[in-house]
Amino acid sequence: MKRYFIHTFGCQMNVNDSLRMSEALAKMSYEPTPVPDNADLIILNTCAIREKAEDKMLSALGRYRTVKASRKALIGVGGCVAQQEKDKLLKKVPYLDFVFGPDNIAKLPEIIGRVENERERVVETAFVDSEEYVFPRADAETSRGKVTEFVTVMKGCDNVCSFCVVPHTRGREVSRGFTDVLLEVADLARVGVREVTLIGQNVNSYQGGISFAQLLLRTAEVPGIERVRFTTSHPHDLSDELIEAFRTQPKICPHFHLPVQCGSDRILKMMRRDYTVVQYLERLAKLREARPGIAVTTDIIVGFPGETEEEFEMTMQLTEQVRYDNQFSFVFSPRPKTGAALRENDWGPVPHEVKVARLERLQKVQRRISGEYTAALVGSEVEVLVEGHSKYDATKRFGRTPENRTVNFEGDAQAGAIVKVLVERSTPNQLAGKQVALLQGPTVAPVEDPVEPQTCVVAEA
């Protein structure tokens, strides 16, 4: 058997795409290896969201060059950088064998066949027309031993956020039919998966035959599924129906990731986000009324072109006002062909040091707020879905609360069980404690540390 190694960068879509690649490779008699050094095929599934993400890909590619030299391994690049750069990537990286975009994963066996047999260097980056696009169905066996899994509900993005490269790399929105989604969820539940996260770049505009809220409700009813999550939502099409689903279905986890990007209406307009801060807060207030205690997280960009000190202060104020559970914050990175990159000079680029200083100030405030949330939980009991052992200490268990807080704890519960944990210590992003009760056992015999293709997927945000 030949061996493959997939290095995954970027978001949940890429993690999920890498699994589909591994399934295609398994059909070609390739097996996964957890280390690149003995691989015959190395695939980098790449992210183009910020310049740093691209740099990371290039440095990883440099490392794999030695494997290529010693073992004649084939090297391919997929994902968003592949889609953006297309054949240019082959010119830039002379030892690269093939380049394929996110729409071409199904063609992977054919691409590799051409590289192996005809010694061709291959580029496949055409988008598939919406009507013709077929979502690959996950092979549930890939997920045996896993407790939580992603399920794709749509691809692409029809928004035009001026900073964002995703519409260029993932094409137009296409929704996956709801029956297909629900069948996949049921397959996953049968192999022991207890939590699913429905994923897409903009799930609120889902149009797969039923509304997104209905899709969540139907997913929650699949036997064996205890927790339902989703990501990502754009605030401008967050419907009342979705908010109501949080009121009525407790299996929809009390966590909402609602990227706001910044606290200034002027900047939001330049970002083409299509909502004001007041509208955003109004949606959030409704959500918190429907599900008190819901954890809210967000994404923030600081140093968008033209952002003044006062406008940055508005983001700081919004952070204090909303009291996010957590934020993912980034300095603005101009991306090729995006509106904000093209107009950066007109709007006034924010100097790098200023951006970085702002980011540090914001992150400090957020760390304090996150720490206040987690510290308040010390002494209380939280419900944890056990995912396996702790990565810090193999004698401890690891899982997450419905609010998506990570918990490392002393206990003996198997992966797939739901337990009560008494919280004894906290850091801003983690809870620690001990198991005090077993609420539910796993639905199937657990497989600790499954040796599945996931072991060779190294995701980095």
Binding residues for ligand SAH, rule: CB under 6 A, are 49-50, 163-164, 201-202, 232, 234, 259, 261, 299, 301, 330, 332-333, 335
- CA pair distance 293, 304, nearest whole angstrom: 32
How many residues sit in the footprint of ligand SF4 (CB under 6 A)?
Answer: 9
- Binding test (CB under 6 A) with ligand F3S, winner from 76, 79, 235, 303: 79
End-to-end CA distance of the chain, in Å? 31
Q: Does 161 bind ligand SF4 (CB under 6 A)?
A: yes
How many residues sit in the footprint of ligand F3S (CB under 6 A)?
Answer: 13
- CA pair distance 331, 446, nearest whole angstrom: 41
Mask: binding to ligand F3S, 12-41, rule CB under 6 A, as x and -?
-xx---------------------------
CB of 170 to ligand SAH, least distance (A): 10
- CA pair distance 81, 307, nearest whole angstrom: 28
**Stretch of 6-14, 124-132, 374-382, 420-428 lying at the interface with ligand F3S (CB under 6 A):** 6-14
Comparing CB distances to ligand SF4, the nearer of 234 and 358 is: 234
* Burial of residue 71 (number of CB atoms within 10 Å: 0-12, 13-18, 19+): middle
* Burial of residue 434 (number of CB atoms within 10 Å: 0-12, 13-18, 19+): middle
Q: Which does 330 bind (CB under 5 to 8 A by kind): ligand F3S, ligand SF4, ligand SAH, none?
A: ligand SAH
Closest listed residue to residue 435, CA positions, set 376, 378, 382, 375: 382
- CA pair distance 247, 289, nearest whole angstrom: 9
Q: Does 167 bind ligand SF4 (CB under 6 A)?
A: yes
CB of 381 to ligand SF4, least distance (A): 37
**Stretch of 158-166, 245-253, 290-298, 361-369 lying at the interface with ligand SF4 (CB under 6 A):** 158-166
Name residues contacting ligand SF4, limited to 211-270 (CB under 6 A). 234
Adjacent-strand bridge partners of 440? 418
Q: Which does 401 bind (CB under 5 to 8 A by kind): ligand F3S, ligand SAH, ligand SF4, none?
A: none
Backbone angles phi, psi at 218, to 5 degrees: -65, -40
Q: Does 284 bind ligand F3S (CB under 6 A)?
A: no
Q: Does 385 bind ligand SF4 (CB under 6 A)?
A: no
Comparing CB distances to ligand SF4, the nearer of 227 and 229 is: 229
- Binding test (CB under 6 A) with ligand F3S, winner from 169, 202, 315, 401: 169
Q: Does 264 bind ligand F3S (CB under 6 A)?
A: no
- Binding test (CB under 6 A) with ligand F3S, winner from 10, 171, 399, 433: 10
Helix, strand, coil fractions of the chain, as percent rounded to 5: 40, 25, 35
- Taking each helix axis from N to C terminus, what angle separates 240-248 and 277-290, rounded to the nearest 10 degrees? 20
**Stretch of 38-46, 163-171, 217-225, 436-444 lying at the interface with ligand SF4 (CB under 6 A):** 163-171
Q: Which does 167 bind (CB under 5 to 8 A by kind): ligand SF4, ligand SAH, ligand F3S, none?
A: ligand SF4
Comparing CB distances to ligand SAH, the nearer of 52 and 63 is: 52
Determine contact, residues 200/152, Cβ cutoff 8 Å. Answer: yes
Closest listed residue to residue 219, CA positions, set 244, 248, 252: 252
CB of 50 to ligand SAH, least distance (A): 5
Residue 161's alpha-carbon distances to 168, 231, 292, in angstroms, are 11, 17, 31
Residue 127's alpha-carbon distances to 130, 132, 173, 259, in angstroms, are 9, 10, 12, 27
Q: Which does 313 bind (CB under 5 to 8 A by kind): ligand SAH, ligand F3S, ligand SF4, none?
A: none
Q: From the centroid of its chain, how far is CA 41?
A: 25
Q: Which does 262 bind (CB under 5 to 8 A by kind): ligand F3S, ligand SAH, ligand SF4, none?
A: none
Backbone angles phi, psi at 262, to 5 degrees: -170, 170
**Stretch of 163-171, 238-246, 370-378, 449-457 lying at the interface with ligand F3S (CB under 6 A):** 163-171
Q: What is the 3-state secondary structure of 20-32?
A: HHHHHHHHCCEEE
Q: In this chain, which residue has its C-beta nearest to ligand SAH?
A: 299
**Stretch of 93-101, 128-136, 155-163, 378-386 lying at the interface with ligand SF4 (CB under 6 A):** 155-163
- CA pair distance 194, 418, nearest whole angstrom: 10
Comparing CB distances to ligand SF4, the nearer of 145 and 235 is: 235
Determine contact, residues 239/256, Cβ cutoff 8 Å. Answer: no
H or E segment and range at residue 331: strand 326-331
- Binding test (CB under 6 A) with ligand SF4, winner from 44, 82, 112, 166: 166
What does the binding site for ligand F3S look like in residue numbers (CB under 6 A)?
Answer: 10-11, 13-14, 47-49, 79-80, 165-166, 169-170
Interface contacts to ligand SF4, rule CB under 6 A: 157, 159, 161, 164, 166-167, 201-202, 234
